[in-house]
Amino acid sequence: MLLLGASIACSGVCLTVVDKGENWFAVDVSAETQNRTASGMGKEGERLNLERALRIGDELGGHIVTGHVDGVGEIEGVLESADRRG
3-class DSSP assignment, residue 50: strand
Four-CA torsion 38, 40, 45, 47, nearest 10 degrees: -30
CA distance 18 to 20: 7
Q: In a structure prediction context, what are the per-residue pLDDT tens digits for the chain, which is 86 residues long?
A: 778 888 888 887 888 899 999 888 898 888 888 787 766 566 777 778 888 877 778 776 666 655 555 666 787 888 887 776 65
Would you kindly state where each structural domain of the chain is located, as residue ranges?
1-36
What is the model's pLDDT at position 28?
Answer: 85
What is the model's pLDDT at position 48?
Answer: 80
What is the model's pLDDT at position 68?
Answer: 57
Amino acid code (one letter) for 3:
L
